[in-house]
Structure 1
Amino acid sequence: MLSPELLHGLRNLPLAARQAAEGFLNGAHASRRHGAGMEFSQYRPYQPGDDLRRLDWRLAARSDRYYLRESEVDTSLTVHLLLDASASMNHRDDNGLRKLDYARLLLAALAYLATQQGDAVGLSILSPAGLRHLAPRADARQLPRLYHALETAEAQGSFPTPETLAPLTARRQRALAVCVSDLYEKAGEIDALLTRLRATSGEVLLLHLMAHNELTFSYRSAVTFKDLETGQTLQLDADQQRPAYLQQLQQWLRETAQQARRQGFDYHLLDTAQPLDAAMREFLRRRQLAG
């Protein structure tokens, strides 16, 4: 798997998305042996450049092996991608990547996978400046639209108000909603949106994005922290505060995961220092269940 730093360094989101998706599928196949007693006469292993619409997604979800069907029987669905573009997503990890950079790469790769499968894919960029929404479509021009929207998205302000987000849940539409967010909120506004999406769409995959330096508190000595959404600053000794911080962080992560699963979301924690493969694997599994 290519690292997120290398993918970001390509400075070409369409190319990075394709490299990430096809590298993941090819690598997952190459790293596993075929199981005994399985019948492969109607399949062949995935190779880079193959038409992803012929992938057997059910087999992939069960076994993490990637094969193309020789007889084409496709299923498709609607995939609704959501990007949290509040200012906290500007937080930069030690590898130089912002959460926003990682989220762009991830959502572009998921859009590529879903579009190649024939799914109708839409995108909503959630920021206080207003809701930027591309309705789900399955035509050939949708993927460039999605890439452009992701490339030009900027993180700013706090998470948008319920009034701003109301159009997302104005009508019931069966879909798999995939939200990438760091879940920094003031009063449960992200949870409220996802709960409404769960009611109107049916399936929610919540990808909780955290920077590696947040997860490990890799800072040293005297540090000044600035809240990217409020502008407030805090000075502290990182070495002294590390044990208490990590304890509180783990408690928050446990409670966040428990609450998300109680709400019926498929929750997964992501580390911006790690490749995109874990998120893509969960997307394929959830896609199979939604289909």
Structure 2
Amino acid sequence: MTRTRVLPESARLPGRHETESALSLAQRMPRLVLEARRVAASLSHGIHGRRRAGVGESFWQFRPFVAGEAAQRIDWRRSGRDDRLYVREREWETAQTIWLWVDRSASMGFASDLAQAPKIERAVVLGLALADCFVEAGERTGMLGLMSPRASRRIAETMAQTMVAERSSLEDDLPPQAPIAPLHEAILIGDFLTPVSEISTVVEGISSRGARGHLVMIVDPVEETFPFQGQAVLHDLEDGLSLRIGDAISWGNAYRQRIAQHRAQIDELVRRRGWTMTIHRTDRPASEAALRLMTLVSTSRGASPGGR
């Protein structure tokens, strides 16, 4: 029989173990990216790999001069080799902003012996590791409702200290309605077991001003497979309710259908807004989800309107 447990409230606050695990994961990310993708652009979220025109210093390309532009933009040496005027474009080097949110509500304290770590530990480690990697790549990283964006080399420690100090957010299973500027990125990490209508309100609110987003659904293997038989008692960790069932096998069939329907609705929601959804099981290494998220952020910027 699969054993499950629920972590107390104190365990939903990041400690030294989670911070060190996140930093260790972040330090391994460059090697993991090179080995798994062989694409250095996966780590290039700051001044590298943008490949679009801007006000930076790195040369990108020559393009024909357009009437009405300032004459000082003309590259006369390149133009002298042809019968046309050319402008030297430079690559964009402006740091961007990543907003992170980590669900620390009661349901995230669930863990089974099939998982490598409880959901809350995996979510915190993933969030801190991503923050460290993004800052290392030249980004500014903040926490929705908790911390303004910054580019500190100690971003993981700062975020962990912020979460420890802010205990009121332990009751929130969705991020606050905080305004996010256009073209910023939001990465929301949680189990997203709340009604789809409530999740939709959050996604629509963030997207309304042009921000992009990514949902990371943290799932314990038991929450997908429901490997129980006979009589069982189910507990609602958010509301404190209990339900006794007599035939766990039959009940499990209906449960799995509901879970599949719930995820399909969330997937449709995020696709409609141009977001992404990542399902990460806690029996898999955190590096898989971290690598995927870094790649998704890079890809979303390259495919967005206006060459972003």
Tell me whether the two structures share a fold, i.e. TM-score over 0.5. Answer: yes
1:92-147: per-residue Cα shift (whole Å, max 9, x none)?
Answer: 233373321111011011011111112110013xxxxxxx5101012345442112
Using the alignment, how far apart are the partners of 2:21 and 2:213 within structure 1?
25
Runs of 5+ unmatched residues, structure 1: 1-9, 36-42, 60-71, 125-131
Using the alignment, how far apart are the partners of 1:188 and 1:54 within structure 2?
35
Among 127, 132, 148, which residue is 1:112 paired with? 132
Runs of 5+ unmatched residues, structure 2: 1-14, 52-90, 302-307
- C-alpha contact 2:105 2:238 (8 A) present in aligned 1: yes
Among 198, 202, 207, which residue is 1:193 paired with? 202
Aligned to 1:7: none
Aligned to 1:15: 20
| Residue 282 (1) aligns with residue 301 (2) | no
CA shift in 2, pair 1:148/1:222, >3 Å = same
What SS does the aligned partner of 2:111 have? Answer: coil
- Matches for 1:21-100 after TM superposition, within 5 Å: 21-30=26-35, 76-94=95-113, 95=115, 97-100=117-120
Among 219, 223, 226, which residue is 2:232 paired with? 223
Q: Cα distance, 1:52 vs. partner?
A: 7.9
Aligned to 1:257: 267
**Aligned residues: percent identity?**
21
- C-alpha contact 2:19 2:125 (8 A) present in aligned 1: no
Using the alignment, how far apart are the partners of 1:146 and 1:287 within structure 2?
20
Q: Cα distance, 1:56 vs. partner?
A: 5.2
The letter for the 2-side match of 1:165 is P
What SS does the aligned partner of 1:229 have? Answer: coil
Q: Cα distance, 1:81 vs. partner?
A: 0.2
Using the alignment, how far apart are the partners of 1:16 and 1:143 within structure 2?
10
- C-alpha contact 2:46 2:94 (8 A) present in aligned 1: no
- C-alpha contact 1:52 1:116 (8 A) present in aligned 2: no
What SS does the aligned partner of 1:267 have? Answer: strand
Among 265, 277, 280, which residue is 1:270 paired with? 280
Aligned to 1:212: 221
Q: Cα distance, 1:273 vs. partner?
A: 1.5
What SS does the aligned partner of 1:270 have? Answer: strand
Among 134, 139, 147, which residue is 2:160 paired with? 147
Using the alignment, how far apart are the partners of 1:55 and 1:232 within structure 2?
50
CA shift in 2, pair 1:116/1:53, >3 Å = farther
Aligned to 2:85: none
Deviates more, 1:93-102 or 1:202-211: 93-102
What SS does the aligned partner of 2:232 have? Answer: strand
1:127-185: per-residue Cα shift (whole Å, max 9, x none)?
Answer: xxxxx51010123454421122345666744546xxx934x12x635411000121122
Aligned to 1:129: none
The letter for the 1-side match of 2:140 is A
- C-alpha contact 1:102 1:272 (8 A) present in aligned 2: yes
Matched residue count: 245
CA shift in 2, pair 1:114/1:219, >3 Å = same
Using the alignment, how far apart are the partners of 1:123 and 1:81 within structure 2?
5
CA shift in 2, pair 1:83/1:201, >3 Å = farther
Using the alignment, how far apart are the partners of 1:263 and 1:101 within structure 2?
29
Using the alignment, how far apart are the partners of 2:291 and 2:152 within structure 1?
25
- C-alpha contact 2:116 2:282 (8 A) present in aligned 1: no
Aligned to 1:241: 251
What SS does the aligned partner of 2:26 have? Answer: helix
| Residue 165 (1) aligns with residue 176 (2) | yes
Using the alignment, how far apart are the partners of 1:257 and 1:264 within structure 2?
10
Over the residues paired in the alignment, what is the CA RMSD in angstroms?
3.4
What SS does the aligned partner of 1:230 have? Answer: coil
The letter for the 2-side match of 1:20 is L
- C-alpha contact 2:99 2:141 (8 A) present in aligned 1: yes
TM (normalized to structure 1)? Answer: 0.71
Q: Cα distance, 1:245 vs. partner?
A: 2.1
Larger Rg: 2
- C-alpha contact 2:103 2:172 (8 A) present in aligned 1: no
TM (normalized to structure 2)? Answer: 0.67
1:204-228: per-residue Cα shift (whole Å, max 9, x none)?
Answer: 0111222111011123432211111
